[in-house]
């Protein structure tokens, strides 16, 4: 049975500093030469950028519904075999969501470190820590860390508020210059900040002075990784097929596990950057992942070569899968949050408009004709206006795959597009069919 030190970094709510602490902890140990593997609880593209920079390794998501329990177990098992330390960052508050970070912790015995923003409290810190630890009987526990603390005296008050002083893992003082900035979808991606690694080093230095940072890995609670589930080998449905994948600041929401899933089924992946003016590669299929097309709309509107390449690609009957930001870029027009209209890539008729409030959020699944449903999620601030017919809809988990009530799926020729972000490993063969030509009807074969 594989084992190694592990911690799940949680909080009572969003915005408390989970990513700050998880990334600082990963950076602290990685720069000492230790092998660190980090995970993000729940679907997320932005926090993993920081965790990957801090740990020096790809970051996968863990979600008991989207991944499935077996997939989570397999990823934790492999991480424990290769790492000196495994860090899992929670999602929202510790008990928020279905499933929650607490559900994951209880299922796999993951010790919980709770981060509390203590900037405006003293004695209540102890009440929060006690409640989080004991609200759910049997929750594995490592301790509590105070974030955004005003002074050493303030830290002392917080520590004295704990009923069990041994739960104290230290305090991080307010450090505005080292904070991780955000925008409408969450944190600003690490690769967008030239001083990102410097910020992480500053946070790691601060964490090194806490009991958590000084704690030798040999003194961490023993954690036994789950057994490796049995999986049947995937058929090579994509063998010999080249898939072009857009990847740059406008198309950056890519799960490493999705790339792994395509490669495992035999695909050759060729990355290109639309923003850099790179032409659409000669490929059998195209994947336009999500990202921030709204932040780069002016540049995208000038890409006449890509615009023509997309039309040629679809005219040849080659599949396109465009999800969320990838779909947004394909419409005739994109209106940004300031109301400025920009020309889109013009493959799909219609307009996408950014708005100030969230348009959709939550887990979704897409029923597939020739296989199990693809699971994933949706998270976007824009709305879509198009004459295209809706050929399918995703469903929420509580509705079941046969009661679609979620995101529309549009199709134009060989191109399919939706706000839905798919986790390919939830149904690998269904994911592969997004990049395969549709089967020829029997009536056409006999004609």
Q: Which are the catalytic amino acids?
A: 324
* Residue given tokens 């029923």 in the structure block: 367
Classify residue 420 by burial, with Cβ atoms within 10 Å: 0-12, 13-18, 19+: buried
The beta-carbon contacts of 438-447 under 8 Å, at least 24 apart in sequence, are 438/414
Separation of alpha carbons 238 and 235, rounded Å: 9
In angstroms, the CA 160 to CA 5 distance is 28
State the Cα–Cα distance between residues 125 and 256, nearest whole angstrom. 37
Both tokens of 435, joined, read 């990049």
Question: Cβ contacts of residue 360 below 8 Å, gap of 6+?
Answer: 378, 379, 380, 406, 407, 419
The whole-angstrom separation of Cα 64 and Cα 363 is 11
Pairing assessment for the beta strands 60-62 and 85-89 based on DSSP bridges: unpaired
Nearest C-alpha neighbor of 304 from the set 279, 322, 268: 279
**Residue 74 to residues 145, 261, 389, Cα–Cα distance (Å):** 29, 14, 39
Q: Give the residue ranges of DSSP H helices in 316-427.
A: 325-330
Going by their DSSP bridges, the two strands 408-412 and 371-380 should be labelled as unpaired
| CB 359 within 8 Å of CB 383 | yes
Phi and psi, residue 264, nearest 5°: -60, -30
CA-nearest of 90, 89, 79, 88 to 35 is: 79
**In the beta sheet, which residues pair with residue 290?**
253
């Amino acid at each position: 049975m594989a084992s190694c030190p592990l911690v799940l970094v949680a909080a009572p709510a969003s915005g408390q500093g989970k990513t700050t602490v998880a990334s600082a902890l990963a950076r602290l140990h990685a720069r000492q030469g230790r092998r660190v593997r980090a995970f993000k609880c729940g679907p997320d593209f932005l926090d993993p950028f920081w965790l990957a920079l801090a740990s020096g390794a790809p970051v996968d998501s863990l979600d008991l519904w989207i991944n499935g329990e077996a997939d989570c177990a397999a990823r934790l098992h492999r991480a424990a075999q290769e790492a000196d330390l495994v860090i899992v960052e929670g999602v929202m508050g510790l008990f928020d969501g279905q499933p929650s970070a607490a559900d994951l912790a209880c299922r796999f015995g993951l010790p919980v470190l709770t981060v509390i923003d203590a900037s405006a409290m003293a004695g209540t810190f102890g009440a929060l820590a006690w409640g989080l630890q004991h609200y759910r009987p049997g929750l594995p526990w490592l301790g509590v860390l105070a974030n955004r603390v005003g002074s050493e005296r303030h830290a002392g008050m917080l520590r004295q508020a704990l009923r069990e002083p041994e739960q104290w893992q230290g305090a991080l003082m307010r450090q505005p210059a080292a904070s991780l900035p955000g925008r409408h979808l969450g944190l600003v991606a690490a690769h967008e900040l030239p001083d990102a690694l410097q910020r992480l080093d500053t946070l790691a230095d601060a964490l090194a002075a806490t009991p958590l940072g000084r704690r030798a890995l040999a003194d961490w609670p023993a954690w036994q990784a789950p057994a490796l589930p049995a999986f049947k080998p995937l058929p090579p449905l994509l063998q010999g097929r080249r898939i072009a994948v857009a990847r740059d600041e406008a198309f950056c929401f890519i799960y490493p596990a999705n790339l792994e899933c395509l490669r495992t089924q035999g695909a050759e992946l060729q990355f290109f950057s639309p923003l850099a003016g790179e032409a659409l590669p000669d490929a059998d299929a195209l994947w336009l992942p999500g990202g921030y097309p709204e932040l780069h709309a002016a540049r995208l509107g000038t890409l006449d070569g890509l615009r023509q390449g997309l039309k040629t690609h679809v005219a040849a009957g080659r599949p396109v899968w465009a999800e969320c930001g990838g779909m947004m870029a394909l419409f005739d027009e994109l209106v940004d949050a300031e109301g400025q209209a920009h020309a889109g890539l013009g493959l799909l008729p219609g307009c996408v408009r950014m708005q100030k409030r969230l348009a959709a959020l939550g887990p979704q699944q897409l029923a597939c004709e020739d296989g199990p449903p693809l699971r994933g999620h949706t998270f976007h601030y824009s709305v879509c206006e198009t004459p295209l017919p809706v050929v399918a809809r995703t469903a929420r988990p509580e509705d079941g795959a046969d009661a679609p009530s979620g995101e529309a799926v549009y199709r134009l020729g060989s191109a399919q597009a939706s706000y839905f972000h798919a986790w390919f490993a939830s149904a690998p063969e269904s994911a592969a069919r997004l990049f395969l030509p549709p089967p020829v009807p029997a009536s056409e074969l006999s004609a």
